[in-house]
Structure 1
Amino acid sequence: MIRLEQANPDTELNAAASVQGCLPKVVDLFAGAGGFSLGASNAGAQVVFAVEFDKFAAATYRKNLCGVGGTTLYTEDILKLDPGKLAKAHFTNGTECDLLLGGPPCQGFSTHRIRNAGVGDPRNALIYRYFDFISSLRPKAFLMENVPGLLWPRHSDYLEKFYELGASEGYTIFDPVTLDARDFGVPQRRKRVFILGVRERERVADFDWPPPPTHSETNDDPTKRWISCQDAFISAPFGDPNDLHMKHNDELIRAFKNTPANGGSRRDSGRTLPCHKGHDGHRDVYGRIDSRMPAPTMTTACINPSKGRFVHPTEDHGITVRQAARIQTFPDSFVFEGGLTAAGKQIGNAVPVEMAKALINHVIKVTTLGGPDMCRSSLQERRN
C-alpha cells in the first residue's frame, strides 16, 4: 500500500535522540520540492538548512517543510552563497553536519541519443559547487543523487575530478551505484545514481553500501513484493488543490478512448504527431499507466501524456498532480505550489520520499552518524 500520509520518523531513533538532544543534523542542497528532506525527516534526522533557487520549488519547500524542526531555507543562487558563512551560522559550539544531501541539476547529464550532447552544459559544473559545501561543512557523510547519464563515458571528467576532490579532503567515496526506486518501497520504476562519501575517520570497515533491497519482483524473504501503483489512483481528498490534470481537446480525448486500459501506446491511440512520423520510437507516448505494476518513471513532464506513458489507467485524461506525487511517495498532505506545469516539474525532479528514507536510515544507523548508541556515548562524553 502507498503511504498517503506522512510516515512517522523511526520510533527508536527519534525517541532516543529527542531525549538526549542529538538528532542527526542534515543539510540539503538543490533541495527542490523536498523529497530528500522529507525522507531525512521521516528517518529521524533534523534538516538544519536547505538551498533551492527555483521560486516554485522553494515555495513548495517552504510551505511543507520549513515548520519541521526549524529548517532554514535559502533561495539565493547557490553560486552566490558563501558555504563558510553558512557553516559558521548553523554549526557552532561543537555541533557538526552529519549528512549532506543533494541532487545537482542533471539536465546536462540526462541528454541522450546525440553524440556528446550535454558535455559542455554549465549546469554539470554544479557538482563541484556541491563539493564546495562539503569542504566547508565537513559533513560526516554526503549522499549525492543524479541520473544514470552521469556515469556515461562522455561525462567521465566530471566524475573523476569529483573523486579527486573527495580524496584531497579526506573522504572515502564509494563506487557510484545505480538503484531502482521500486526496490525500496516506491511504486515506480526509477533508476538513479547515488554517490556516498564518508569522512575517513568515521567507521566504514563494516559498512555495506548500498543497502539491500527491501522489495523485489518475487515475495521472497526478506524482501516484499514490488508495490503496484494502483493506490495512487484512489480518489484524492476533497478540496485537494493538486487534484488537477491537463485539459485535453476532443481529438485527444477520442484518442485516449481508443487506448486499452492499463496499457496501449500512441499506435493504439490512432494519433501520430509530425515528430513521430518516420520512426518507431516514443512508443509509450499516449500510453496508459498499468496500475497492476510499478509505474514508469515520473519525469518533469509527467502530467503531459504527449511526453510518455502518463495517461490514467482507465480514465480518458493524463494523470493528476496528486497521482504523480503519490507515485513519488509524497503524502497527500504535501501541497505543490506554482500550478500544473511547475508542480509536474518539481515531482519529476524529486527523490522519492520512501527511497530517500530507506537510504538515509541505512547511512545514519550503520556509519555512526546518529542513533541511540551514538547519542548515549555523546552524552557520556559531555558528562565526563
Structure 2
Amino acid sequence: MIGDMAEHGVAISLFSGAGGLDHGAEDAGYEVRAAVEWDRDAAATMEKNFTHLHSSVITRSIVEVTTEEILASGGFRAGERPDLLIGGPPCTPFSKSGFWLEWKRKGLDPTASLLQEYTRVLREARPHKFVLENVYALTYNNTASRPAYERLLREIDDAGYIPIPKVLNAADYGVPQARPRLFILGVPKGTKILPAHPDPSHGGTWERRTTGPIDRPHVTAGEVLEGLVAEPEPGEVVAGKYGHLLPDVPPGENYLHYTAERGHPDPQFRWRSKYWSFLLKLSPTRPAPTIQAQPGPYIGPFHWENRRLRVNELKRLFTFRDDFTFVGSRSSVQAQVGNSVPPLLAAKVIGALHGKTSTSLSDATVAEH
C-alpha cells in the first residue's frame, strides 16, 4: 500500500503515467482517488500499485474527458473540491532533446496544447492546491517555449491561483539522478502565506557548477545499486555497429573518449558530432545522468558493466520502491520509468505545500534556472 492515511486530503491526478507524482503525493499524506492516463500499460501500472483509487484509471485522452467525469471517478459529490491537483503534461514540445527539429523550435507541436487541458481542469475543479511538473526547457527564452510558458502562467492566474515556479534538480533532493525539472506550486489568490519549494538536501557538481549544500554529497549510482539483485534481461547486450566500443569507454564518459581531442590513437568520431548521451556510461561515484524514456540503441546511460540498465536498477535510480510493479513490455517499462517524476522528489515538493513558507510574491513569479 502506498500511503497509510490521507493526512492532507484527497488528490486527483492528470497525465499520471506510472504514478511517480502520485507515489510522492501519497507519501506526502494524500490519497490519490482519480487518475487520467491514456497509455494502457501505464494505467495498469497505476492500478497495480495504488490502493486508494476510487475507480479504474480513465484511459482516454484528456481532451475527451470532462472535469465532471474526473471528479465523479474519484467519488466526489456535486460541489466538492479536491484538496490537491497534480500532473505533468507531456513534455515533448519543449524537451531540450527535440530542439534540433525546426517545427518544434517554432512552437508548432500540437501536443503543446495539453498544458491547456491541465489549466482547464484546474479552473473547473477548483482544488485547494496544485502541483504541475514539466521539463525545465519550458522556461527557455525561445520561440517554442517562452510563449507557451507565459500563456501557462497567465491561465493559472486567470483560474484564480498564484503560480510559484522553480526548476529543481532531483539530485539535490537525494535522488541518485541528475534530473532537472520545472515544478509549479499553486494556491488560490488571497492566500496570505505562500508555500515555498523545499530546500536542497544534497549538493554537488552539475553541468560545471555546484548546486545544493556541499556538506552532504549527492547520492551516487554506486550507492543505490550496491548489493541489488537484478537478473539479466533479454536485449541488455549493446551490439550492432557501435556496441563493441562501449567496454573501453571509462565510467562517466561517452563517445568523446574516441575523439582526437581526447587523445585517442584511433578516433572513431568527430568532436561533438553526436548527442552527449551517445555511448554514455554511468559512473558509480556520481548520480546517474538523466535517464530517457525512449533511448536509441546507443543512447545511455549504460551500466559500468557495459550493458543496458535492468528494470530493478531503473527503479532504484528513480527512487521507486523495489516492490513497485510495472506492467508492460520492456520498452513500455522504459518509457514509463523515463517519463516519471522520481517519487522521492515528488514527495518533498508536495510536502512543501505544508512546510516552509515564503511571503514574497515577486520571488514566486519567476522560475529560477
Aligned pairs, how many? 339
> For the structure 1 residues 167 and 219, does the alpha-carbon distance in structure 2 shift closer, same or farther, using more than 3 Å as the test?
closer
Q: Secondary structure at the match of 1:104?
A: coil
Summarize deviations over 1:142-173 as a string: whole Å, max 9, x none: 11111122112312222222223222222112
Structure 2 counterpart of 1:113: 100
1:339 Cα offset (Å): 1.6
In the alignment, structure 1 residue 146 sits paired with structure 2 residue 138: no
> For the structure 1 residues 276 and 250, does the alpha-carbon distance in structure 2 shift closer, same or farther, using more than 3 Å as the test?
closer
1:130 Cα offset (Å): 0.7
1:197 Cα offset (Å): 1.8
- Which of residues 181, 189, 193 in structure 1 aligns to 2:170? 181
> For the structure 1 residues 311 and 164, does the alpha-carbon distance in structure 2 shift closer, same or farther, using more than 3 Å as the test?
closer
Structure 1 counterpart of 2:290: 297
Q: Secondary structure at the match of 1:59?
A: helix
Structure 1 counterpart of 2:217: 225
- Which of residues 66, 76, 84 in structure 2 aligns to 1:82? 66
In the alignment, structure 1 residue 34 sits paired with structure 2 residue 22: no
Cα distance in 2 between the residues matched to 1:243 and 1:93? 49
- Which of residues 220, 236, 255 in structure 2 aligns to 1:266? 255
1:52 Cα offset (Å): 0.5
Equivalent position amino acid for 1:358 in 2: K
- Which of residues 292, 308, 315 in structure 2 aligns to 1:325? 315
Deviates further, 29-38 or 81-90: 81-90
> For the structure 1 residues 223 and 360, does the alpha-carbon distance in structure 2 shift closer, same or farther, using more than 3 Å as the test?
farther
How big is the alpha-carbon RMSD for the aligned residues of Structure 1 and Structure 2?
Answer: 3.1
Summarize deviations over 1:282-308 as a string: whole Å, max 9, x none: 344113100111110011135x56123
Consecutive unaligned residues of structure 1, counting only runs of 5 or more, are 1-5, 368-384
In the alignment, structure 1 residue 215 sits paired with structure 2 residue 202: yes
Summarize deviations over 1:318-359 as a string: whole Å, max 9, x none: 211221221111111112222221111111110011000000
% same residue: 28
Structure 1 counterpart of 2:367: none
Ranked by relative contact order (alpha carbons within 8 Å, sequence separation 6 or more), the top structure is 1
Say if 2:20 and 2:343, in contact at 8 Å, map to a contact too.
Answer: yes
Structure 1 counterpart of 2:57: 73
Cα distance in 2 between the residues matched to 1:258 and 1:68? 48
Cα distance in 2 between the residues matched to 1:219 and 1:299? 22
- Which of residues 342, 345, 361 in structure 2 aligns to 1:352? 342
Alignment of structure 1 residues 89-128 onto 2, 5 Å: 90-92=75-77, 95-110=80-95, 111-115=98-102, 117-118=104-105, 119-128=107-116
Say if 1:245 and 1:320, in contact at 8 Å, map to a contact too.
Answer: no
In the alignment, structure 1 residue 288 sits paired with structure 2 residue 281: yes
> For the structure 1 residues 317 and 221, does the alpha-carbon distance in structure 2 shift closer, same or farther, using more than 3 Å as the test?
closer
Structure 1 counterpart of 2:152: 162
Q: Secondary structure at the match of 2:17?
A: coil
- TM-score under structure 1 normalisation? 0.78
Cα distance in 1 between the residues matched to 2:215 and 2:352? 16
Cα distance in 1 between the residues matched to 2:45 and 2:29? 21
Summarize deviations over 1:219-261 as a string: whole Å, max 9, x none: 99797321111134335447x7x9665343376553222223x
Say if 1:312 and 1:319, in contact at 8 Å, map to a contact too.
Answer: yes
Q: Secondary structure at the match of 1:215?
A: coil
> For the structure 1 residues 87 and 244, does the alpha-carbon distance in structure 2 shift closer, same or farther, using more than 3 Å as the test?
same
Structure 1 counterpart of 2:303: 312
Summarize deviations over 1:105-138 as a string: whole Å, max 9, x none: 1101112134562511111000001111112210
Structure 1 counterpart of 2:207: none
Structure 2 counterpart of 1:371: none
> For the structure 1 residues 243 and 360, does the alpha-carbon distance in structure 2 shift closer, same or farther, using more than 3 Å as the test?
farther
Consecutive unaligned residues of structure 2, counting only runs of 5 or more, are 205-209, 358-369
